[in-house]
Structure 1
Amino acid sequence: MSRTRTPVVDGWFTGDGEGFRLLGTRCARCASVFFPREDTHCRNPGCAGGDLEEVPLSRRGHVWSYTDSQYRPPSPYVSNPELPWKPFTLIAVELDAERLVVLGQATPGVTVADLTVGMEVELVPGVLHEDAETIWTTWHWRPTGERA
């Protein structure tokens, strides 16, 4: 039986491979960019608001901060309490073009020992959780090996 690939949050990312992108929105009036996307109003308190357009965000950025999860997060995070907890690494990435910080998990196997502030990372498709029917997809950050 084939499992369905389903985004953990619909409309936050699109594509695959080199075409994989996070989707944000930009205010037509002040040019502020938002992620997660905003579909009702401009979040910039200094802007009276304008039309919001969907924009694909940069695929590369630099590590702004990072940490790891040494404990099992509470619900609604999905994990099997029957299995031992495996820590994962979280990275806050400042996107190059937008100057916007986006949080996400590192690719599996990347630990805090592999990261430094300012290190370049790239956006790649990832998997948050799998069950018998569904593969829940998300985004991950992968180090490129370059320094700022």
Structure 2
Amino acid sequence: MVEGWFAGQGDDFRLLGTRCAACASVFFPREDAHCRNPRCPGGDLEEIPLSRRGRIWSYTDSRYRPPSPYVSNPELPWEPYTLIAVELEAERIVVLGQAAPGVLVADLSVGMEVEVVPGALHEDTETVWTTWKWRPTGVEA
């Protein structure tokens, strides 16, 4: 879990970004120091909740165990996962994330509507590290 990147639970779960007051550029991951738009003279940055829904811009599957800092148990078999790049139309940005459990590449198409949902990045006996995942709309977890 990365502090300040998302908030809420269930239907209230949202990614959090920042918007520049001078040029209205939106950033995710959030930016707290300065506007990243090279044409902007700079302005105050405010936290904003991002759209919960967007459309698939691209997608792929990951069939290899990524290197550190990704956390995986080398003693367990590797399970491929699906990555989805989602365009948030209102914010005019693309956000990358894993697909929700059970969502396969075969289930997806460019332009399909998806929504952000909470998911587990990693868990052990004491802690669950939360992240965001993308799920086609109308599909229950």
Instruction: Tell me the TM-score normalised to structure 1 length.
Output: 0.91
Runs of 4+ in 1 over 4 A off after TM superposition: none
Partner secondary structure for residue 137 of structure 2: strand
Counterpart-to-counterpart distance in 2, 1:12 and 1:125? 12
Counterpart-to-counterpart distance in 1, 2:104 and 2:89? 23
Structure 2 partner of 1:36:
29
Instruction: Tell whether 2:53 aligns with 1:25.
Output: no
Instruction: Tell whether 2:114 aligns with 1:96.
Output: no
Structure 2 unaligned segments of length 5 or more: list them: none
Structure 1 unaligned segments of length 5 or more: list them: 1-7
Counterpart-to-counterpart distance in 2, 1:48 and 1:108? 42
Of 9, 22, 25, the match for 1:16: 9
After superposition, the CA RMSD in angstroms is 0.7
Counterpart-to-counterpart distance in 2, 1:93 and 1:101? 5
Of 39, 44, 57, the match for 1:51: 44
Instruction: Tell whether 2:69 aligns with 1:76.
Output: yes
Of 59, 70, 75, the match for 1:66: 59
Pairs aligned (count): 138
Partner secondary structure for residue 137 of structure 1: strand
Instruction: Tell me the TM-score normalised to structure 2 length.
Output: 0.96
Counterpart-to-counterpart distance in 2, 1:68 and 1:112? 6
Of 124, 134, 146, the match for 2:127: 134
- 1:48 CA drift (Å): 0.8
- 1:96 CA drift (Å): 2.5
User: Identity of aligned pairs, percent?
Assistant: 81
Partner secondary structure for residue 25 of structure 1: strand
- 1:142 CA drift (Å): 0.3
Counterpart-to-counterpart distance in 2, 1:141 and 1:17? 13
